[in-house]
Chain A
């Protein structure tokens, strides 16, 4: 028992000395904070890697933080407070709660830091100095248009399953969902809510939490309601992979159902190549992160703030449709090209 205890003390002491060594090594260079949702999601890991590379290039002292879970606001608030205290020049953050984080962000800006929101805008968007993100609605429109063209006449009689992330209808979640519908030619009614559409072709919405297991169960549920499903929209590629397993279990992996998705992660692109996913919208988390760091460095040196993309209230880091079955009227790249620039 005492041996175990001693072991624990030794381990703690070693950890402490490593930490202090790390702190000592990183001095003098300007500090930039990088706060993500969780370490669990490859998307945010890719972002952090992008940030680390760019920090190396720009000679910045990058301090990364990740919340414990994707609904944990408090640990992000603490991370901001710590960065203010450490004298950082700027922060790039992927907010877990776009509204709840705002007071902490305001404190950081009052302290003279440049704050860039990544992946999604804050609520209100002006609370951050800038937003670097994918245009999720435009990305949704891409897969919607593709699906419509891909199905041809069958699009008019399609039965569509909508596999979203979570019931709280988060901004990214809604924009992708409603963008897809818009692209497919469905009257979305309120573009900021799903579920109010009246188009018969929509079978229903089910929640996946963006995971494989959630995708499978959600797909199974919708298949029970509408056994004749022909199109599946998924909020991200893990959900798409799970949905495919459910389709396979009932023998619908024969090409009778088209799955579209969003993200363009390497496993997702491979799924497109294998025919699991028909088309996916690729986004560029590395770019978001590295551009944000450049902007922060620029601000520190010249005082200039980043400008949003003309016509939008955020800086668009771009989206590309990935498919091996291109259609007329929708620009796309094939999986070979996408594989070279994919993340995760």
Chain B
């Protein structure tokens, strides 16, 4: 059967190329950013120590970004990732330090907290079919309020944790390599999680179902995919990954604080978008998100070392977001 092959202009071929290899743009952006700052800032930026420092700084954003990527692939969004992270870390700290229970139990309960938060989001989205934006806007407030209830707005200090439950700070342990590079256990955990989720998305049928559910839910249903179950699975996994990020957060700041990391939520969405994942669902990758997180980290770190105002850091990250979304729109137009 000889269907007419579509005429391929150069732009169309390029668009096809971007569609097939969506991580090319973040990869190129990252390479350019690193090269640029290496030129401008020099040794202080382009040293093994500083480059690994950037990795430490983006570890939490990377984990939240991976969690967020899963949800965004289903054409949803989870505004509650930041508060789930903090709530889980508060539970871990409270259980082990305040109530003196075994730290393994504390870690488990923290992860269970993330599981339950994700399950609640997922049930509302998949079964009651509320828009994810609204659901997680609501649970953002709900979980946020629970943080204050559980923590009583108190900080658990690093020294207290060190004395009673040092395992909570395990993710902050460091491996010092030659040349000054420093890798934390948290960063390694991030890479392990990224590999696992990459496998899930690219090599397992569950991953195919996640993409299909986000891309064209009706088609997915007709193909026999249980889309509601897929959605619940995604939100639950997202919640658990946020809880894991909560553990890494304790390793990073040493303490358990209800104030936590207020910008983490938006930074994670930023990493996902800059990493080339489409907010319309069905397209995107974990590797892209990791690179998105690194791009944000490199810009923040590089511009700060170059002595630029914080304002310019925000400015440039904002431009990156707009550019990323524009490219996504352009690539998506292909199907129309």
With contacts A167-B311, A225-B44, A271-B157 known, is A1 near B127, CB below 8 A? Answer: yes
Is A39 an interface position by the 8 A CB rule? yes
Given A39, A220, A267, which contacts B155 in the complex, CB threshold below 8 Å?
A: A267
Instruction: Enumerate chain B residues within 8 angstroms of A241, measured Cβ to Cβ.
Output: 155, 157-158, 253-255
Which residue, of B50, B159, B249, B307, has the highest number of chain A Cβ atoms within 10 A?
B159
Interface of chain B residues 42 through 91 with chain A (CB within 8 A) = 44, 50, 53, 56-57, 60
With contacts A4-B123, A5-B128 known, is A221 near B305, CB below 8 A? Answer: yes
Docked Cα-Cα span, A68 to B123, in Å, equals 26
Is A242 an interface position by the 8 A CB rule? yes
Instruction: Enumerate chain A residues within 8 angstroms of B56, measured Cβ to Cβ.
Output: 220
Chain A binding site: helix, strand, loop or mixed by DSSP?
A: helix
Q: Per-residue 0/1 for B251-270: is the Cβ within 8 Å of any A Cβ (1 yes, 0 no)?
A: 01111011111111000000
Is B153 an interface position by the 8 A CB rule? yes
Docked Cα-Cα span, A254 to B258, in Å, equals 28
Is B182 an interface position by the 8 A CB rule? yes
Flag if B305 contacts A42 (CB, 8 Å).
no
Q: Per-residue 0/1 for A28-71: is the Cβ within 8 Å of any B Cβ (1 yes, 0 no)?
A: 00000000000111100100000000000000000000001000
Flag if A212 contacts B263 (CB, 8 Å).
no
Flag if A167 contacts B310 (CB, 8 Å).
yes
Is B216 an interface position by the 8 A CB rule? no
Interface of chain B residues 137 through 169 with chain A (CB within 8 A) = 141, 144-145, 147-148, 152-160
Flag if A245 contacts B182 (CB, 8 Å).
no
Flag if B310 contacts A207 (CB, 8 Å).
yes
Docked Cα-Cα span, A344 to B152, in Å, equals 9
Flag if A238 contacts B123 (CB, 8 Å).
no
Interface of chain A residues 189 through 228 with chain B (CB within 8 A) = 204, 206-207, 209-217, 220-221, 224-225
Docked Cα-Cα span, A225 to B306, in Å, equals 9
Instruction: Enumerate chain A residues within 8 angstroms of B261, measured Cβ to Cβ.
Output: 211, 213-214
Docked Cα-Cα span, A245 to B174, in Å, equals 12
Q: Per-residue 0/1 for A1-40: is the Cβ within 8 Å of any B Cβ (1 yes, 0 no)?
A: 1001100000000000000000000000000000000011
Please name the residue on chain B nearest to A70 by beta carbon.
B262
Flag if B304 contacts A221 (CB, 8 Å).
yes
Docked Cα-Cα span, A66 to B137, in Å, equals 18
Docked Cα-Cα span, A71 to B158, in Å, equals 28
Flag if B259 contacts A211 (CB, 8 Å).
yes
Chain B binding site: helix, strand, loop or mixed by DSSP?
A: helix
Is B218 an interface position by the 8 A CB rule? no
Instruction: Enumerate chain A residues within 8 angstroms of B158, measured Cβ to Cβ.
Output: 241, 244-245, 276
Docked Cα-Cα span, A42 to B156, in Å, equals 12
- CB < 8 Å A-B pair total: 114
Flag if A211 contacts B260 (CB, 8 Å).
yes
Flag if A213 contacts B127 (CB, 8 Å).
no
Please name the residue on chain A nearest to B253 by beta carbon.
A212
Docked Cα-Cα span, A248 to B128, in Å, equals 49
Instruction: Enumerate chain B residues within 8 angstroms of A265, measured Cβ to Cβ.
Output: 155
Is A307 an interface position by the 8 A CB rule? no
Instruction: Enumerate chain A residues within 8 angstroms of B254, measured Cβ to Cβ.
Output: 212, 241-242, 244-245, 248
Flag if A224 contacts B44 (CB, 8 Å).
yes
With contacts A4-B127, A220-B53 known, is A344 near B153, CB below 8 A? Answer: yes
Smallest Cβ distance from B76 to chain A, in angstroms?
19
Smallest Cβ distance from A286 to chain B, in angstroms?
14
Interface of chain B residues 293 through 316 with chain A (CB within 8 A) = 301, 304-305, 307, 309-311
Which residue, of B127, B141, B155, has the highest number of chain A Cβ atoms within 10 A?
B155
Instruction: Enumerate chain A residues within 8 angstroms of B44, measured Cβ to Cβ.
Output: 224-225
**Beyond A213-B264, A344-B153, 20 additional pairs, beta carbon < 8 A:** A1-B127, A39-B145, A40-B144, A40-B147, A40-B258, A41-B259, A42-B154, A45-B148, A209-B262, A221-B301, A224-B305, A225-B304, A225-B305, A241-B254, A242-B253, A242-B254, A245-B158, A245-B172, A267-B156, A270-B157
Interface CB pairs A-B, < 8 A, 17: A4-B128, A5-B128, A39-B148, A206-B304, A209-B263, A210-B259, A211-B260, A212-B253, A212-B259, A215-B253, A220-B53, A238-B259, A245-B252, A249-B182, A265-B155, A267-B157, A270-B157
The 4 A-B pairs of least Cβ separation, nearest first, read A212-B253, A213-B261, A45-B153, A245-B254
